[in-house]
Homo-oligomer: A and B are copies of this chain.
């Protein structure tokens, strides 16, 4: 199971989300390929990719001198299952709580 803090932190940056979008559009790109389309230094991209990798959102595979990057969607699913979904259902309960609260007046 991935560390939820690493995960949320990784998703918190728009540059990293864009990076994931580009990998989603075309998985398995090298660092250079990814840099070519982003308005950022290579080192900047590297650092973002490191964060994504630490969060287990991106997996890496070396081919010669090239580093291929692959998306791993599993942690996103985990976020949904363990975090987002539970905030979906209780709308009815929330309304009950609200009603109870307001009736205190």
Contacts of A20 in B (CB 8 A): 87
| Interface SS of A by simple majority | helix
In the complex, which of the residues B5, B8, B98 contacts A28, with contact meaning CB atoms closer than 8 Å? B98
Task: Report A's interface with B, CB cutoff 8 A.
Answer: 4-5, 8-9, 11-14, 17, 20, 24, 26-28, 63, 68, 70-71, 73, 76-77, 79-80, 83-84, 86-88, 90-91, 93-94, 97-98, 101, 104-105
A32 to B91, CA, bound (A): 24
* Distance in angstroms between the alpha carbons of A8 and B14 in the assembled complex: 9
Q: 20 A-B contacts, Cβ less than 8 Å apart?
A: A5-B14, A9-B12, A11-B12, A12-B12, A17-B83, A24-B90, A27-B94, A27-B97, A28-B98, A63-B104, A63-B105, A70-B98, A71-B87, A73-B87, A73-B88, A73-B90, A76-B88, A79-B84, A80-B80, A84-B84
